[in-house]
Amino acid sequence: MGFSLKREIHFISGLMRMLRAVKTVDAESNHLLADELEMRIDSFGPNIAFIEDDRQWTYDDVETYANRVAQWALAQGLKPNDTVAIFVRNRLEYVALWLGFSKIAVIPALLNFQLSGSALAHCVNISDASHLILDHEMEEQWNAAKDSVTTDVKVWAAFAEIDGYESFDAAISNHVPSRPSKEIRAGLKAAGQAMKMFTSGTTGLPKAAKVTHVRAQNYLRGLGTGARASAKDRMLMVLPMYHATGGLVGVGAALTYGGAVIVQPKFSATKFWDEAVRHNATMFTYVGELCRFLLSTPPHPLEREHKISWIMGNGLRPDVWEGFVARFNIPHVIEFYGATEGNVSLINVDGPVGAVGRVPSYLSWKFNIDIIRYDVETGLNPRGSDGFCLKADHNEIGEMIGEIRTDDPRFRFEGYETEEATNKKVLKDVFKKGDRWFRTGDLMKRDENGYFFFMDRVGDTYRWKAENVATGEVAAVLSKFTGVTQANVYGVDVPGYDGRAGMASIVSETPPDLTALKMLINTELPHYARPVFLRLSNESDTTSTFKFKKTNLVKAGFNPANISEPIFFANPVTDAFEPVSADIYAQIIKGDVRL
């Protein structure tokens, strides 16, 4: 009982700290994102704010750069609610760049700097931007996209010269770095749009998500207080800063409290601990697959010599969590759950390994969260005889949803740039007539103590042999096998069978021993969850935030004519993985070879 009471006190105190941190964020106020950061600049002016390699900027330096950007934008005739696209890699200047536009209520559209060709052109087209700031290092990617851009956008070369484009650096240097009058933002409310971010595009082209001033401020303030951050902290930032997890949550954990952000151009598993030690990092922001990559690397002489005491992020699976904190000597983990555009947020600062957060029954009234039943075969949420959705029981897997409400800025859903995309994410008449809920598209379960556990994405879970299979659980088992660095699990159609057969695309440091791998699979997984097909890949197709892309894998299926990589099937006669040749493929399709 004593331990239970102690845990409850710890949980409540942590929760109350975070709620107090965001208490003054008000959708109806005129305290906007620019005001939030100007407040930090005025408080921490001489403190180091950003570090990139051997360069450092103070908060005052951030202000100077941002003000030049703002004055340039005003000279260009940009007005509140206009959009400027930013196609720039992680840089010391990144936050100051978009802050400059925010100061005059121009909306920055933060483009994924890893995109190219048609995907990049698509994002520019739907951004509605009149200007685009092009990092000179992105020139090749832009050249592959520009012919497909259908909007009238003026491109400026930044951080070095590019033939054929005016210099953004030269243009802003001509302006006096005076802070724009707040009157430019007069009349705007925090409920309005602050920036545009883009979904990861795991199942198709990215969508433009509206990020309000309220949401951005909540992200900036939220997690730092959970980690008891201070001006002494240094956040190692290896995630892309155009994404909310890195660019708002991670950045905010440092900037809100006067600390510094150590900006890395991109994640490098081999250089990670060198950079952490070199810059005296005390925190870093993760996504789960990043931690898996680090855990799969050979021992590094500095991997326990760092000063990192807190890590924060999402997607840290139980099979990685325990091994990661033990090997790398990480005292504290803050696992959170949320989506850039969503209205559902959870955080785990005290609870069991693998939990993404907690809502105890006595505090459920302070949250907008529930889990409803989900039918994997139909892709629908079943309804009862009264026409309303059915709540999932404790430890029953269902879809997480969040009630859309206007009485609390945390529970709003601003949607996407298109009405069609927005409507797909809204579920109506869930528990009563007229209610509206945001569909997260994530399958969760909740235990008796109110802890939530992420299980899978809707569409990733598939049904085989009359049983539901969670791809994440299968991937966790495959990732245990020596040498396997990535495991991407999905379901494929096989003629003559109900549901979808499990298939895994794995990346391994050396050719895997398929006999030993089959033994592990048989030991760890029930018969229906064991992969029927195996694809040995050179690399996995992931988004910039390390989420697996599965659309092309599912389309290719297990047909060797579509795939240049080796494919195997689990032969039930021999209980072994055997190659899928064109002849074997034809026999499976005809039903002559059974699965």
* Residues in contact with 499: Cβ distance below 8 Å, sequence separation at least 6, in sequence order: 377, 462, 463, 464, 465, 466, 491
Q: Average pLDDT in the 193-198 region?
A: 94
* Residues in contact with 303: Cβ distance below 8 Å, sequence separation at least 6, in sequence order: 273, 327, 328
In degrees and rounded to multiples of 5, residue 562 shows phi and psi of: -95, -10
Q: Average pLDDT in the 357-361 region?
A: 89
Q: Provide the residue type at 80 as one letter.
A: P
Averaged pLDDT of the chain: 90
In degrees and rounded to multiples of 5, residue 432 shows phi and psi of: -160, 160
Q: Provide the residue type at 216 as one letter.
A: A
Buried b (16+ CB within 10 A) or exposed e, 425-439: bebeebeeeeeebbb
Q: How many CB atoms lie within 10 A of CB 409?
A: 22
Q: Give the pLDDT score at 546.
A: 47
CB 470 within 8 Å of CB 397: yes
Return the higher-pLDDT residue of 508 and 206.
508
Q: Confidence band (pLDDT; 50, 70, 90) for 424? A: confident
* CA–CA distance, 304 with 327 (Å, rounded to integer): 8
Q: Give the pLDDT score at 547.
A: 54
What residue ranges define each of the domains in the chain, with the CATH number in brackets?
A: 2-341 (3.40.50.12780), 358-456 (2.30.38.10), 460-590 (3.30.300.30)
* CA–CA distance, 417 with 195 (Å, rounded to integer): 12
Q: Give the pLDDT score at 1.
A: 38
DSSP 141-208: HHHHHGGG--S--EEEEESS--TTSEEHHHHHHTS--PPPPGGGGTT--TTSEEEEEE---TTSS--E
* CA–CA distance, 395 with 277 (Å, rounded to integer): 41
Q: Are strands 234-237 and 193-198 parallel, antiparallel or unpaired?
A: unpaired
3-class DSSP state for residue 523? Answer: helix
* CA–CA distance, 534 with 511 (Å, rounded to integer): 13
What percentage of the chain reaches a pLDDT higher than 90?
64
Is residue 502 predicted with pLDDT exceeding 80? yes
3-class DSSP state for residue 259? Answer: coil
The model's pLDDT over 180-192, given as tens digits with 9 standing for 90+, comes to 999 999 999 999 9
E strands, 344-409, are 346-348, 355-358, 369-372, 398-403
Least confident of 39-43, 326-330, 458-462: 458-462
The model's pLDDT over 83-94, given as tens digits with 9 standing for 90+, comes to 999 999 999 999
Q: Give the pLDDT score at 2.
A: 44
3-class DSSP state for residue 379? Answer: coil
Q: Give the pLDDT score at 548.
A: 56
Q: With the C-alpha atoms ordered 218, 222, 223, 228, is the resulting torsion angle positive or negative?
A: positive
> Which residues pair with residue 10 across a beta bridge?
none
List C-alpha distances in Å: 346 to 156, 313, 517: 40, 11, 36
Q: Give the pLDDT score at 204.
A: 58
* CA–CA distance, 237 with 267 (Å, rounded to integer): 9
3-state secondary structure labels for all residues of 56-106? EEEHHHHHHHHHHHHHHHHHCCCCCCCEEEEECCCCCCHHHHHHHHHHCCC
List C-alpha distances in Å: 84 to 131, 188, 341: 5, 18, 20
Number of helices followed by number of strands (H, E) in the chain: 18, 28
* CA–CA distance, 5 with 2 (Å, rounded to integer): 5
> Which residues pair with residue 108 across a beta bridge?
84
* CA–CA distance, 485 with 534 (Å, rounded to integer): 15
The model's pLDDT over 457-470, given as tens digits with 9 standing for 90+, comes to 787 788 888 777 88
Q: Give the pLDDT score at 201.
A: 55
CB 429 within 8 Å of CB 387: yes
Q: Give the pLDDT score at 541.
A: 57
> Which residues pair with residue 501 across a beta bridge?
492
Q: Average pLDDT in the 218-227 region?
A: 90
3-class DSSP state for residue 265? Answer: coil
What percentage of the chain reaches a pLDDT higher than 70?
97
Give, as one character, the DSSP assignment of residue 451: E
Q: With the C-alpha atoms ordered 419, 414, 349, 373, is the resulting torsion angle positive or negative?
A: negative
The model's pLDDT over 274-317, given as tens digits with 9 standing for 90+, comes to 999 999 999 999 988 789 889 888 899 999 999 999 999 998 98
* CA–CA distance, 415 with 423 (Å, rounded to integer): 8
Burial class (CB in 10 A: 0-12, 13-18, 19+), 549: middle
> Which residues pair with residue 399 across a beta bridge?
372, 443
